[in-house]
A and B are shown apart, each in its own frame.
Chain A
């Protein structure tokens, strides 16, 4: 088990390193000149800047060195937790992200809980009900959920609930009531994905012989459904949890822009506006970190949830 753990950890670190490298390649090799943008205060391309000043800035940020040297330098610093400084205000990237992170975590956490409750509930109801039309109607919802542009859903919620009925605040970071609309917006596509996967997996599980046995024993349908079928049906959906959480995290870029909330997503959107490469890179690596960490956690939890899988770590050795 310990060896398995170490191997999985090393794998996770390798993926993170590769994600860092890919983001470096994308951001630094593609045609864009961060220095001239910086000198213009982020206002697009102009040519009224003193070349000497440009050269000075280049030297300051190390852009005058060969790319490979820049890469090694930056990677070395990133390993020590230093992702460079924001081009917009000179603040360290890690500080910028750390300050914004709690807001986004709050929002994303709430959205994730909502998505699991709504998506799981929908899958449960759709497979549990005896009325065929109800089951079919419920299962028709998730495809709609994944087809709606989330920024549009957010705007519609603001329009109806804030402007029309004046129930909830439209914008800002003030308290729980301002969290509801963005969280619902963020949760919707994820809930739809969860509902689709879980309903499919539940249907397959319900057709298995052991469920029939449980029914034949005379257990109450709800017990069979929740205690016997649901437990096994949830397992396959766990494998996509890294993707789901990563998706919610990335969705904060859109949702925080729609609701004018401060957070990592908002920082990312402005960083793209200013071509603030260090900040964008920091967020990309953070996104990969979220994905990798969740996947690692699921992999390690899996044997606990499904005793059949405990065999793998010992045989792999």
Chain B
């Protein structure tokens, strides 16, 4: 009588420690994955630094980004001002650090607009099909035919200036690619057996859509979103370089570069260093999205 009872008990004991080993092994795998890719490690560090700068600029600098010391104007990089100072004696490093918040905000808004609007269009087109799909996807084709920057400029013309408006304009320009990616994935998932099963047990269409199709179709759009971060940083800074972003005293990465443009011949650091920061941030996000897109999946 006791024999058969012991059997499952022993199996149970065998299984118990396994998840722990798995966690350790998985952690080791992540560690090894990163160790083999020093570039990716650096990229993660840069993104963390940018996030810190955006949320807690006080960690990096105690200098005021808006009010300068006129006597210290246009000083080259030194121990006291590692990025130098601008024409009003403001510390450039402080301006770059405080600018991270504005630029990050704009980037997040831009990516969210593209992700949500594009994702909904793609989801609807892929899920409903028929003429709805035709209409929506033709619309997306047309959006794709207008070069992104020009579409953004049209939106800026209509909305006016400001960080948030620029961010929306950048997001609108990327709606089309999100719509395409989401639709393709929804079409793939819609064919899956579990969706058919859900339908056949009488699940309502919104349950099928939001509980079965959406969670399984969102992956590629998320990867695209990480890739879009880099693109959006560049697009937002381009528009703020052209003067459509944050208005003067506020520091924004793109407008810092255009401010420094007038002093290019004598004060190289004013345009150069903020540009290096932008390039580093974009490179880092692109590197991370590339890792998410291919390498990590391949490794596992």
Q: Known contacts being A250-B148, A288-B146, is A155 close to B286, with CB within 8 Å?
A: no
- The size of the chain A interface, using a CB distance under 8 A, is 54
B14 to chain A, nearest CB (A): 45
**From residue 250 to 277 of chain B, which have CB atoms closer than 8 A to chain A?**
254, 257-258, 260-261, 264-265, 268, 271-272, 275
Residue B237 contacts which of A149, A257, A287 (CB distance < 8 angstroms)?
A: A149
Dominant SS among interface residues on chain A = helix
Residues of B contacting A184 with CB < 8 Å? none
| B153: A residues at CB distance < 8 A | 253, 268, 272, 280, 283-284
Contact, CB under 8 Å: A280 / B278: no
User: In the complex the two chains form, what is the Cα distance from A155 to B254 in whole Å?
Assistant: 12
The answer to whether B265 touches A163 (Cβ under 8 A) is: yes
**Which of A25-33, A49-57, A97-105, A309-317 forms contacts with chain B?**
A25-33
Contact between chains at A30 and B159 (CB < 8 Å)? yes
- Kindly report which residue of chain B lies nearest to residue A23, judged by CB atoms: B154
Nearest B-chain residue to A269, judged by Cβ: B242
Could you say which of A149, A254, A276 has the most chain B C-beta atoms within 10 Å of its C-beta?
A149
B106 shortest CB reach to chain A, Å: 14
Contact check, B257 vs A149: say whether CB atoms are below 8 A apart. yes
B145, CB-defined interface residue at 8 Å: yes
Cβ contact within 8 Å between A155 and B282: no
Contacting chain B: which of A61-69, A125-133, A140-148?
A: A140-148
The docked-state distance in angstroms from the alpha carbon of A155 to that of B270 is 11
Closest chain-A Cβ to B77's Cβ sits at a distance in Å of 15
> Judging by beta carbons under 8 Å apart, are B142 and A147 in contact?
no
Closest-by-CB residue of A relative to B258 is A151
Q: Which residues of B contact A275 (CB under 8 A)?
A: 157, 160
Q: Kindly list chain B residues whose C-beta atoms are within 8 Å of the C-beta of A284.
A: 146, 150-151, 153-154
Write out the residue numbers on chain B whose beta carbons fall within 8 Å of the beta carbon of A31. Answer: 158-159
- Tell whether A280 pairs with B154 under 8 Å between CB atoms, given A15-B145, A18-B138: yes
C-alpha spacing A261/B226, complex, angstroms: 35
Given A18-B138, A281-B154: A158 in contact with B264 (beta carbons within 8 A)? yes
A159 interface residue (CB < 8 Å to B) = yes
Give the residue among A150, A246, A281 with the most B Cβ atoms within 10 A: A246
- Name the residue on B nearest A276 (C-beta): B157
Task: List 6 A–B pairs whose Cβ atoms lie within 8 Å, in order of A's numbering.
Answer: A19-B145, A26-B151, A27-B158, A28-B158, A159-B265, A287-B150
Binding site for A on B (CB under 8 A): 138-139, 141-151, 153-160, 230, 234, 237-238, 241-244, 254, 257-258, 260-261, 264-265, 268, 271-272, 275, 278-279, 282-283, 286-287, 290
Listed from nearest, the 10 A-B pairs whose CB atoms lie closest are A152-B275, A30-B158, A250-B147, A250-B149, A246-B147, A18-B142, A147-B282, A147-B283, A287-B150, A287-B147
- Inter-chain pairs besides A19-B142, A253-B149, 19 sampled, C-beta below 8 Å: A15-B145, A26-B151, A26-B158, A27-B158, A30-B159, A146-B286, A149-B254, A151-B258, A152-B278, A242-B145, A246-B147, A247-B148, A253-B150, A253-B242, A254-B241, A272-B156, A277-B158, A288-B145, A291-B147
